Amino acid sequence: MRNWIGKPSIRAVAGLAVVVLAFFWALPSFASYADVWPQLRTIGEGPTSTLAALGIVGIVNLLAPSTAQVAALPKLRFRDAVVTDWITSATTNVVPAGTAVALGLNVSMYRSLGLKPGAITRSIVVTGLWDTFVKLGMPLLAIVWLATQRPISPTLLQASLIGAILFVIAATLLTVVLAGPSVTATIGRGLERIPVVGSFGSQTWSERLSELRVETVSLLADRWAALTFSTLAGHFNLYLLLVVCVRIVGIERSVLGWAPILAAFAFGRLVTALPITPGGLGVMEVGLTGALAAVGDGPEATIVAAVLLFRFATFIVPIPLGALSWIWWTTRRRRQPLQADY
Could you tell me if residue 240 is inside a domain? yes
Could you tell me if residue 342 is inside a domain? no
**pLDDT score of 203:** 64
Which segments in the chain show pLDDT lower than 50?
1-6, 198, 338-342
Residues in Cβ contact with 314 at an 8 Å cutoff, skipping those fewer than 6 apart = 61, 238, 241
**pLDDT score of 206:** 64
In angstroms, how far is CA 221 from the centroid of its own chain? 24
Residues shown for the chain: 342
Contact 107, 128 (CB under 8 A): no
**pLDDT score of 340:** 43
The closest alpha carbon to 84, from 71, 68, 66, belongs to 66
**pLDDT score of 149:** 76
Could you tell me if residue 341 is inside a domain? no
Could you tell me if residue 247 is inside a domain? yes
Could you tell me if residue 89 is inside a domain? no
Residues in Cβ contact with 63 at an 8 Å cutoff, skipping those fewer than 6 apart = 82
**pLDDT score of 325:** 93
Could you tell me if residue 292 is inside a domain? yes
**pLDDT score of 306:** 94
Could you tell me if residue 272 is inside a domain? yes
Backbone angles phi and psi of 31, in degrees to 5: -165, 145
**pLDDT score of 159:** 64
**pLDDT score of 46:** 65
Q: How many domains does the chain have?
A: 1
Measured CA to CA, the distance from residue 272 to residue 286 in angstroms comes to 11
**pLDDT score of 116:** 86
Write b or e for each residue in 223-259: b if 16 or more Cβ atoms lie within 10 A of its Cβ, otherwise e: beeebbebbeebbebbbbbbbbbbbbbbbeeeebbeb
Could you tell me if residue 94 is inside a domain? no
> The domain containing residue 208 runs over which residues?
2-82+117-316
Over residues 277-296, the pLDDT tens digits come to 888 888 899 989 998 988 87
